[in-house]
Homo-oligomer: A and B are copies of this chain.
Amino acid sequence: MTSDEKRALILDKLADHVLAHGLSASSLRPLAKAAGTSDRMLLYYFTDKSALIAEVLQHIAARMVIAMEGATAPQPLPYDVLLARLSAALSDPGFAPYMRVFLEVASGAANGDATLSQIGEAIGRGFLDWGKAQLQSDTPDIDAARLMVTLEGTVFLRAIGMGDVCRTALGTIE
């Protein structure tokens, strides 16, 4: 097994751990344990902790893109339909971990973490573009923006146990 393959394998397990336990529970030793290696080795493969985290988050983002491909409708959908679909998808147990991590990234970014700030925006823009491509609309930019604001709002509220409010808010639209 080449060094690159090892790296890729480790990266995969690191992503699993971050998705399962969050960034705050992702210090080097727990990460190393989850990847079946040592903290020493993590810093051998990834120059830095922040570099490591950056790569892991990008890996996670790539995974999410793939998962979303599966949720992609064959044709663009009108705003209301797409919103209902995505809102349901994001609360799916399969997707929820991504949203938890995304929320944590946003929080870290708001507190001044440069790495998280940069990656958070990249992921966010990617998601926005993807949504725009799914939208059947005369004003795709505006509707994609509204879609995204609404969806992230539901992520936020569900995080604090206010999923019922999300349902109330979106119930009028379906």
Given A160-B109, A160-B117: A149 and B150 interface contact (C-beta under 8 Å): yes
Confirm or deny: A25 has a beta carbon within 8 angstroms of a beta carbon on chain B: yes
Are A25 and B165 in contact (CB-based, < 8 A)?
A: no
Q: How large is the interface on A (under 10, 10 to 19, 20 to 34, 35 or more residues)?
A: 35 or more
Contacts of A172 in B (CB 8 A): 139, 142, 146
Given A117-B161, A150-B153: A111 and B106 interface contact (C-beta under 8 Å): no
Q: What's the Cα separation between A152 and B13 when bound, in Å?
A: 32
> How far is the CB of A92 from the nearest CB of chain B, in Å?
15
Confirm or deny: A12 has a beta carbon within 8 angstroms of a beta carbon on chain B: no
Which residue of B148, B151, B161 contacts A121 across the interface (Cβ within 8 Å)? B161
Q: A interface vs B, CB < 8 Å?
A: 21-22, 24-25, 99-100, 103-111, 117, 120-121, 123-125, 128, 139, 141-142, 145-146, 148-157, 159-162, 165-166, 168-172
Interface CB pairs A-B, < 8 A, 13? A21-B111, A22-B110, A104-B110, A105-B160, A121-B161, A124-B157, A124-B162, A142-B168, A149-B150, A149-B154, A150-B153, A152-B156, A155-B156
A104-B111, A121-B160 known; 20 other A-B pairs, CB under 8 Å? A24-B108, A103-B103, A103-B107, A103-B156, A106-B160, A107-B107, A110-B159, A124-B157, A124-B160, A124-B162, A141-B168, A142-B169, A142-B172, A145-B166, A146-B169, A146-B172, A149-B153, A150-B153, A151-B153, A152-B153
